Amino acid sequence: MERSRYKQMKILANDGISQSGIDALEKKGFEVITTKVAQNQLEKYINEHNIDALFVKSATQVGQELIDACPSIKLIGCSDGGLDNIDVSYAQDQGLHVINAPEAAANAVAELVFAHLFGLVRFLHASNREMPLEGDSRFKELKKAFSEGIELRGKTMGLVGFGNIGQAVAKIGLGLGMNVIATDEKIPSAPITVDFFNGQKVTINIETISKDAVLKEADFISLHIPAQDGYIIKEDDIKKMKDGVGIINTAGGGILHEVDLVKAIESGKVQFAGLDVFETEPTPAVQLLMNPEISLTPHIGGATKETEERNGIALAQQVIQLLR
């Protein structure tokens, strides 16, 4: 009897969902469709197939026009953590459920933060460009150029934003022996538990401080705050930072003023930056792409196989709970 209660419910996972998520939904009688429908054909497809729930990633936009045109939709889910591509407030005003699983991507994004950091402090982003070109002819010169790296242990990591991802970054930083400080207007403190392979764990409580204090004290600053009205880090903020600071942005393209960042790198105020997100995606500014002091990734923060699995299962559990 349980399956018959669900069998008419159709989910279009337009940008895909993990097999584990599909299995969990089909077990409860949902029909999961993984056909990739072009943005301009989405309205027609949803209405023709009487779709009840729509799963998307950042590649698919779900705005007011689509919501109004598709009355069968009861739920919208974003399966890559963020919700920037969905008009959440309008959807909720129309009585739709809007779900995601931001915690699923936290570890993946945190590891990418340190992938950028490790690469930058040891010049891997530059060395990996230079070695294929001149490694056989200028080996000694390159060795000298890239032998003045620094270690992360003992340095201060400053986090602007201390939610799921910020806390995951803090966990890795503490494990590396870094001093971790954070600022967040809504989170006064958080216990950070570092788990070890043998089952032992250590918990350290981090109390958040002012943004200005983080900017002044940190050797490296990592951004983990959702999009706001206006920039979170611009010229005035950069002036408050230490000389030679490193900045990592895996949060959002609209929170870091890219022109001010480039100017600060050129002046030497900022030593380097790691960027996974850009103001003008999917066509980042050439000044960023060509800057030798910037480590670049194409918005892959939460894009790991493990995140996909966690996302699929988390979304499936929410759908089963909400649409049963």
pLDDT digits (tens, 9 = 90+) for 162-213: 999 999 999 999 999 999 999 999 999 999 999 999 999 999 999 999 999 9
Confidence tier at 58 by pLDDT (50, 70, 90):
confident
Q: What is the pLDDT of residue 83?
A: 78
Confidence tier at 85 by pLDDT (50, 70, 90):
confident
Q: What is the pLDDT of residue 228?
A: 80
SS3 315: helix
The amino acid at 44: K
Report strand pairing: 53-56 vs 220-223: unpaired
According to DSSP, the residues that pair with 21 across neighbouring strands are none
Q: What is the pLDDT of residue 8?
A: 65
At residue 277, what are phi and psi to the nearest 5 degrees?
Answer: -135, 155
Quote the CA–CA distance of 269 and 281 in Å, as a whole number.
26
Confidence tier at 3 by pLDDT (50, 70, 90):
very low
Nearest partner of 146 among 137, 136, 154, 138, judged by Cα: 138
Q: What is the pLDDT of residue 1?
A: 34
pLDDT over threshold 70, residue 139: yes
Nearest partner of 84 among 102, 111, 66, judged by Cα: 102
Residue 228 DSSP label: -
Confidence tier at 54 by pLDDT (50, 70, 90):
very high
Cβ neighbour number for residue 271 with a 10 Å cutoff? 19
Question: Average pLDDT for residues 103-126, to the nearest whole number?
Answer: 96
Confidence tier at 102 by pLDDT (50, 70, 90):
confident
Q: What is the pLDDT of residue 72?
A: 95
Question: Average pLDDT for residues 23-51, to the nearest whole number?
Answer: 94
3-state helix, strand, coil split of the chain in percent (to 5) is: 40, 20, 40
According to DSSP, the residues that pair with 167 across neighbouring strands are none
Return the CATH number of 105-292, one of 3.20.20.80, 3.40.50.720, 3.30.1340.10, 3.30.450.20.
3.40.50.720
pLDDT over threshold 50, residue 52: yes
Contact between residue 273 and residue 261 where contact means Cβ atoms under 8 Å apart:
yes
Quote the CA–CA distance of 278 and 262 in Å, as a whole number.
13
Nearest partner of 250 among 135, 156, 111, judged by Cα: 111
CA 176 to chain centre: 21
The domain limits of the chain are: 3-100+305-322, 105-292
Do domains 3-100+305-322 and 105-292 share one topology? The answer is: yes
Question: Average pLDDT for residues 137-147, to the nearest whole number?
Answer: 96
Portion of the chain with pLDDT greater than 70, in percent: 97
CATH superfamily of 3-100+305-322: NAD(P)-binding Rossmann-like Domain (3.40.50.720)
